[in-house]
Amino acid sequence: MFYRLSGTYHTSYRADRRLWKVPTDRWLVVALLVLGAFAPLYVSPLYLGSYVLPWVIWSAAALSLTLLMGLAGQLHFGFAAVMAIGAYASIHLTRAGIPFEISLLLSGLIAAVIGAVFGGAALRVKGLYLVMATLAMQYLVDWVVVNVPWISGGAHATLRTPAVSFLLLPLDSLAARYWLALGWAVLLTVFFMNVKRSSFGRALVAIRDKDFAAAVIGVDPFRTKLMAFFTSSFMGGVTGAILAFCFYRAVTPEQFGFNVSIQLVAMVLVGGLGSVIGSWLGAGFVLLAPIFLTNIISALAATGWVPVSQNFLSHLPLMIYGAMIIGFLLLEPLGLAKIYDNIRKYFLVWPFRHARS
């Protein structure tokens, strides 16, 4: 119906390699971009500031992580620590007088270098052991941040972000901060879609599927794994800086704790490993579903139909969050991306139930 395929012929390899081969997809992407770019005009500041903005930033974070976990198959349970490095580095660099644009890049590089050290463990172990090793590194980074006053900012451990501007656009209005975050997230999205088609992306996939086999066909596992950690940590570091400057505007170590790492992994898994649209959907779902579901149940409780205590009500988001992770893993391990894909395929061949065969 919506996805009219008639008249769409790919007459060259070039045309066949396009990102969006179906016109509807193309239009959809354009429409979403326009909607996203003009969001500050029609979304109330409440929704923009507390739902849309964090969603965009966490999507960027999920994209960074899914490059590592989805494409390269390297598990990482300490990604929040990488973001923390980016956030703290960017604040200290801008405070030292370096222009914001450059300090963003530098903080990404610092996070990438330290993140690649995390990757060192991946050269030796995989699977469960890699989970544990990255988890231990998360604790180490947390400890260093908390215990070195030079990093954390002393007794109260709160560092405020200085007022900055990005390419002459001062970041003091919500809209400006939103646009910067959106720009970064879109940039990551475009990068991600293209990296899948590059030789680097294919090397990552080869490593994910079987690193010994990849070595046999000439992909250097050592280099590729380190590159994967480096790239993903760079993306994560800049996202952490964006998170600090565009959303929190003050950083404390708690913002990047172990639970945040878990939340990121949950976003990636709920969305669907290695999927672009999955990262966006997963970030939105993990971030917003517990909030909205809790609101619905509180509303029901308010009417008096569902007798629950305050204590239960306040533990509800945690329960929903846990149940959601379990539910997705049991019912749709391929995540929201797969659900989207099923719906799209349904419309692709509608009114028929199956394509061709």
Residues numbered 223-252 forming contacts with other proteins, rule: CB under 8 A: 247-250, 252
Contact 135, 77 (CB under 8 A): yes
194/314 with CB nearer other proteins: 314
> Minimal distance in Å, beta carbon 190 to other proteins?
26
> Minimal distance in Å, beta carbon 113 to other proteins?
18
Q: What is the CA radius of gyration of the chain?
A: 21
Q: Is residue 314 involved in binding other proteins (CB under 8 A)?
A: yes
Contact 294, 317 (CB under 8 A): yes
Q: Is residue 298 involved in binding other proteins (CB under 8 A)?
A: yes
**Stretch touching other proteins by CB under 8 A, among 10-18, 188-196, 232-240, 263-271:** 263-271
Site for other proteins in 318-357 (CB under 8 A): 318-326, 329-330, 333
Residue type, 116: A
Q: Is residue 315 involved in binding other proteins (CB under 8 A)?
A: yes
**Stretch touching other proteins by CB under 8 A, among 11-19, 25-33, 39-47, 109-117:** 39-47
Q: Is residue 18 involved in binding other proteins (CB under 8 A)?
A: no
3-state class (DSSP) for residue 92: helix
**Stretch touching other proteins by CB under 8 A, among 7-15, 107-115, 295-303, 336-344:** 295-303
Position among 310, 351, 355, 357 found at the interface with other proteins (CB under 8 A): 310
Site for other proteins in 98-157 (CB under 8 A): 121, 124-125, 127-129, 131-133, 135-137, 139-140, 143, 146-147, 154-157
Contact 234, 226 (CB under 8 A): no
H/E segment holding residue 329: helix 310-331
**Stretch touching other proteins by CB under 8 A, among 24-32, 34-42, 205-213, 342-350:** 205-213
> Minimal distance in Å, beta carbon 146 to other proteins?
7
Position among 11, 14, 46, 168 found at the interface with other proteins (CB under 8 A): 46
Residue 227 CA, distance from chain mean position: 18
Position among 302, 351, 354, 355 found at the interface with other proteins (CB under 8 A): 302
3-state class (DSSP) for residue 23: helix
Contact 235, 108 (CB under 8 A): yes
3-state class (DSSP) for residue 159: strand
Longest alpha-carbon distance in the chain = 68
CA nearest 118: which of 66, 65, 79?
Answer: 79
Q: Is residue 262 involved in binding other proteins (CB under 8 A)?
A: yes
Gap between the Cα atoms of 27 and 57, Å rounded: 24
190/244 with CB nearer other proteins: 244
Binding residues for other proteins, how many (CB under 8 A)? 80
β-pairing verdict for 250-251 and 159-160: antiparallel
Instruction: Extract the tokens encoding 67.
Output: 């490059």
Contact 160, 88 (CB under 8 A): no
Q: Is residue 309 involved in binding other proteins (CB under 8 A)?
A: yes
92/344 with CB nearer other proteins: 92
Instruction: Extract the tokens encoding 256.
Output: 């990047």
Site for other proteins in 51-90 (CB under 8 A): 51, 54, 69, 75
From start to end of 156-302, where are the E strands? Answer: 159-160, 165-166, 169-170, 250-251
**Stretch touching other proteins by CB under 8 A, among 19-27, 45-53, 188-196, 234-242:** 45-53
In this structure, what DSSP letter does residue 127 have? T
Site for other proteins in 159-178 (CB under 8 A): 160
Contact 39, 178 (CB under 8 A): yes
